[in-house]
Amino acid sequence: MSLEEKNPTARQRRETILQLLRQISDGGAISASALAAKLGVSRQIVVGDIALLRASGEEILATPRGYLLENTDNGGLRRTIACKHHSGDAMARELYAIVDNGGEVLDVIVEHPVYGQISGALKLRSRYDVTAFLEKVERYRAQPLSALTDGIHLHTVFCRDEETFLRITQALQEQGILLERG
């Protein structure tokens, strides 16, 4: 292995990061730590590289599972759902209801009185993804963003068709999680 391969320039390293992100299978993600290990640099170097790639226009999402490239040409429907709940149990029921009915939870959004809109990329497609997310919330004792807004939050949901979206909203309504217009 040449010295250049062991210590790539910053530009080469960022190109390698993009190549690795492009190689991820559908729905996969790769953590900053995993990228750092592959590249032989620190996690913080990777985080900085990702920031620079985003600033140059790359659509890179940071999710609870790691980084992935945003796929904006995937057909189907994107819809926003307004929800309200106060417990971790309700959060689990909400997320499982969405994925169990064929949806993908792309993000969570809250409206903060000082910062305005705050969002977090989730990209939860399956029960496995939801369970891993909930375990991470528990492990880090993290408060959901909805704790900032008395439980009110939005989710952008991706689904293949209108029927799937209606099935999701009905399941959330039956659980009393869907925020109703009053």
Report pLDDT for 3.
Answer: 37
Report pLDDT for 176.
Answer: 93
Pairing of strands 60-63, 77-84: unpaired
- Domain-located, residue 137: yes
pTM of the shown model: 0.71
Q: Are residues 81 and 170 in the same domain?
A: yes
- Domain-located, residue 180: no
CATH number, domain at 58?
Answer: 1.10.10.10
- Domain-located, residue 179: no
Q: Are residues 106 and 29 in the same domain?
A: no
Domain extent at residue 133: 77-174
CA pair distance 14, 101, nearest whole angstrom: 37
Report pLDDT for 58.
Answer: 86
- Domain-located, residue 182: no
Going residue by residue through the chain, which has 182 residues, state the pLDDT in tens, using 9 for 90 and above: 433 445 558 889 999 999 999 888 666 789 999 999 999 999 999 999 999 898 887 888 888 888 988 765 567 899 999 999 988 799 999 999 999 999 999 999 999 889 899 999 999 999 999 999 999 999 999 999 999 999 999 999 999 999 999 999 999 999 999 987 65
- Domain-located, residue 181: no
Please tell me what DSSP assigns to residue 149.
G
Beta bridge mates, 30: 67
Report pLDDT for 74.
Answer: 61
Report pLDDT for 113.
Answer: 87
- Domain-located, residue 27: yes
Please tell me what DSSP assigns to residue 59.
-
